[in-house]
Structure formats: structure tokens, C-alpha cells
Amino acid sequence: MRWMSSSASFVTALPKIHQKALAGLAAALLLAVFIPSTDNSISSPLSLDHLIDTDAPFFETPTLSIRQQKAPWAFDKVPANETLLIPNIGRSNSYQYIVRKGDTLSSIFERLQLPQKTMYQLLETDLNVLALDNLKPGHTLVFDKQDQQLLRLELQFNLAHKVVYQRKEDNGFEFNEVRLEGDWKQKLISGEILYSFTGSGKQAGLSQWEAQTITELLKQRVDFRRDIQRGDTFEVLLSRQYVDNEMTGNNKIEAIRIKNRRHEINAFLFEDNYYDEKGRNLEKAFQRYPFSGKYRLSSHFNPKRRHPITRLIRPHNGTDFAMRKGSPVVTTGDGIVTRVVRHKYAGLYIEIQHGQSYKTRYLHLNKSYVVKGQRVKRGERIAQSGNSGRSTGAHLHFELHVNGRPVNAMTAKIPIAVSLTGKKKSSFQKQLKDYLAQIEASQAQQIALNKKDSTVKESTL
């Protein structure tokens, strides 16, 4: 089965994100995303049909007079038949570009005739975020120019998550990753299994990614092929993120209950980990170091680091280990490989997603033994360390992210497969009660709705 990243949920949430955007825009974007060989006129709607109006204060709804304006090219010449950049209303010298299928940062820069030097400066800044090589159709880039120079670039993944690159004189850019907390609203997805959990789950409203995360999480406790049969039931309590009443596409799985003929399988999210009803950790343990043996720690995690010469802020979002080129690198937890990428500055790097909350990255590699989409087990050899990209000597740069944020992998609380005890256990039990109450309440609501529905149907018969 092909692994799908969290952008899948973003895509499914697309039509609801921008209620103010034209319906045609949503349809065109969806088509562009779902149909691989779409005719260009569909995948690149013209001019303002492209406009996604986000809720950031500097974006305003376009007025008619501005709609009729021809979108000027950001940086000099405009190919006559192309209107890829949309002026950002209310902000002069600001333009938006919506990422299309097949785009890469360099193809976008080429099409927009932006200098390659600027792109390399951005990539250099992006080294510790690695956001720019994760562009997907539907993401928005906002370019601000000044004196024919790129002053600021904003990459909007969704309403709640963006990365801003700001020029600092001639030296390059600094970045700032912005995540809004937003409001999280719960929603119960429930149903009966017909052929498979994944199929019926998706039918009921789970994304592919969510269904896969659940089977991955519970596979030690239930054999989804053998133990799950037609007529078994499931309940999944999701939490969906909203910013200004619009769905961002970010979802969290909070509680899972699967009932088959013999028993009930439960999982509840508590402090970034899943536990069963007895407070036993369901997640596989991590190991602290991405290798076996001992290597010298040569550079610490430091979110406030500055470049020694330019003085620009260059957060070091990982931990470096001095390792001879060719040393074996292992994954610190079970997971799925989400990226194997060659980057001008990060070199050859691997990213692995571990369940819902954790992600690790391994940079400057010499050789990868894994491919994107592959499942890996804790301690499995995934690569040879190296010196690729911009690196002052052979070393491994290792990152751990929790819920999308880089943390110090040497000190972070990582899942260790133990049961909750004492105070933790009582606060878990409180949380568990809340989840169960929420599930019951949603069910009661659904039953009431169904009854109302059938009464309506009956009365119209």
C-alpha cells in the first residue's frame, strides 16, 4: 500500500478550507490534485480564480476593479499567456503562487524568472526546516519583492502552518516557522466493517493516512486480516483543527475502539502517546541514538545558534555526531520512510514518520538503504553516514520532531513501552473518561439524527 503523507488530509479538507474562495477554484484544485494527467487549462486556472484568500490580516477579498487588473509579473517580464502570480491585494509588491502538480522549487523559480542565487540562499536558510523541498499541489507561496529583489517568501502549508523567509541585507535569509494552535473540535467517525477496516473506515470518513496510522498502531494487538470480520464495529474520535472557523486539514486521532466478536481493542491518546484502557503504552519504544556503538557528539541542538560570519540566526535543529564516512546509521524507532532526498546543503537525507506524533531525520548521508514508502523497524540499518551537502567534515546530523516541532533528541521524552503509574495514571484515567463520554455523546447524537432522518423518510413515503 502506498504511504500517503498528511497532505492527504489537507487535500480532502480543501473544499472546506476557503469558504470565501470561488467554488470553481476548489474544483479546479481538486482536479489538479487527483487527476494525474489533467489538461493544463484545468490544472492552471487563470488569474484570480487562483486566489486562495487566507485569513492572514494582510489578505483581503479582491474587489471587482482589482479583479479586472492584469496580474503583473513579479520580477520584470511577463510571458503574455501566463498569469501564474496573483497580486496580493492590500499589499504592494506582493504576489501569490499556488503550487501545481509537478512543481519543484527550481521549476517555479525558473518559470518566474527569479535568480538562482536567491533560490540557493533560500535553500541554505531552509537547511534546518527542509520545508521547501516538500512542496505539494495546493500549497501557496507568497513572494514580496523590493527593488527587483526577493525580500520575503512565505510558504503556506495550510491556514495554521507557514514558514516565512525574510531577507537580511545581502547575506541571505532568516526563517520563522509559524504554527497556529487554532481550535480543535472533536468528531466521531464510526461504522460497521464490511470487507476491511481500511475500506470501511475510509467510507465512514477517515483519510487513508488515518486508517493506516490506526492499523499500524494496533497491529500488535489485532490481526486486521484474520480477527476482523464483517459486522465488527469501530469508533474513532478525531480532533480537527480550525482557524477562524475554517478547517486547516490538520487532524489528530484521539481515541480508537474496535469491537469484534470476542473482544474490544482500545487506544487513547495521552501526552503524545497511545495507551490501552488499562494505561499500558501501545507504542513501540524508541532508542536514543541513531547508531549502535559510541560516537562523539560534535554539535548540540541549539535553536538560537547564529552563523559565525554573517551573524544570521541559523537554528541547529539537530544533534551532530562525528562519524567516519560509511558508518552504519539505524532508525531510532519503527516507522515509514517519508523522504529520501538529495539536497544541496543537507546532502542525501532520510526522513521517517513514527506513528502520529514523531518524525526523525538523518542528514549528510553517503548512501541510503531504504526507499520512500518503506516500513522500517527500530534499530534497522537505513544508511551509511557521510559528508554530503554542505558539511565541514564527516558527521551525522540527527533530528527528532514531536508534533511537527524539532526537539532536542538527546533530552526529549521519547516513548518507552511502560505502563502509566501514580499521578500520570490518574490523569490518564480522567482523560479516558472524557474520551468515552465524548464517544457516547456523539453516538447518541447520531442515533437521534438517524431517527429524525428515518421519520422524515417515512413521512415522505
Interacting residues toward Zn ion by CB under 5 A: 318, 320, 397
244 vs 159: CA distance, rounded Å = 9
Return all residues near 165 (Cβ < 8 A) that are at least 6 apart. Answer: 122, 125, 126, 152, 153, 154, 155, 173, 174, 175
Nearest CB to Zn ion, comparing residues 199 and 303: 303
78 vs 85: CA distance, rounded Å = 10
Nearest CB to Zn ion, comparing residues 33 and 323: 323
Nearest CB to Zn ion, comparing residues 208 and 299: 299
Minimum CB separation of residue 396 from Zn ion in Å reads 8
DSSP state of 83: -
Minimum CB separation of residue 317 from Zn ion in Å reads 8
Q: Rounded to whole angstroms, what are the CA distances from 227 to 168, 187, 206? A: 59, 26, 21
Q: What own/partner pairs with CB < 8 Å and gap ≥ 24 does 178-185 have?
A: 179/404, 179/405, 180/243, 182/241, 182/242, 182/243, 182/248, 182/250, 183/241, 183/242, 183/243, 184/239, 184/240, 184/241, 184/242, 184/252, 185/239, 185/240, 185/242
Nearest CB to Zn ion, comparing residues 22 and 313: 313
Nearest CB to Zn ion, comparing residues 154 and 320: 320
348 vs 339: CA distance, rounded Å = 10
As a residue count, the chain comes to 461
Nearest CB to Zn ion, comparing residues 142 and 323: 323
Minimum CB separation of residue 387 from Zn ion in Å reads 12
Nearest CB to Zn ion, comparing residues 62 and 315: 315
Minimum CB separation of residue 286 from Zn ion in Å reads 20
Nearest CB to Zn ion, comparing residues 315 and 415: 315
Nearest CB to Zn ion, comparing residues 144 and 320: 320
Minimum CB separation of residue 342 from Zn ion in Å reads 17
Return all residues near 263 (Cβ < 8 A) that are at least 6 apart. Answer: none
Q: Rounded to whole angstroms, what are the CA distances from 417 to 233, 413, 420, 460? A: 28, 12, 10, 56
211 vs 209: CA distance, rounded Å = 6
Closest CA to 83 of 74, 91, 92: 74
Minimum CB separation of residue 385 from Zn ion in Å reads 12
Minimum CB separation of residue 389 from Zn ion in Å reads 10
Task: Give the DSSP H or E segment for 329.
Answer: strand 328-330
Q: How far apart are the first and last CA of the chain?
A: 44
Q: Rounded to whole angstroms, what are the CA distances from 314 to 44, 159, 173, 188, 436? A: 36, 25, 10, 42, 45
Minimum CB separation of residue 397 from Zn ion in Å reads 3
Minimum CB separation of residue 117 from Zn ion in Å reads 24
Minimum CB separation of residue 363 from Zn ion in Å reads 7
Nearest CB to Zn ion, comparing residues 16 and 339: 339
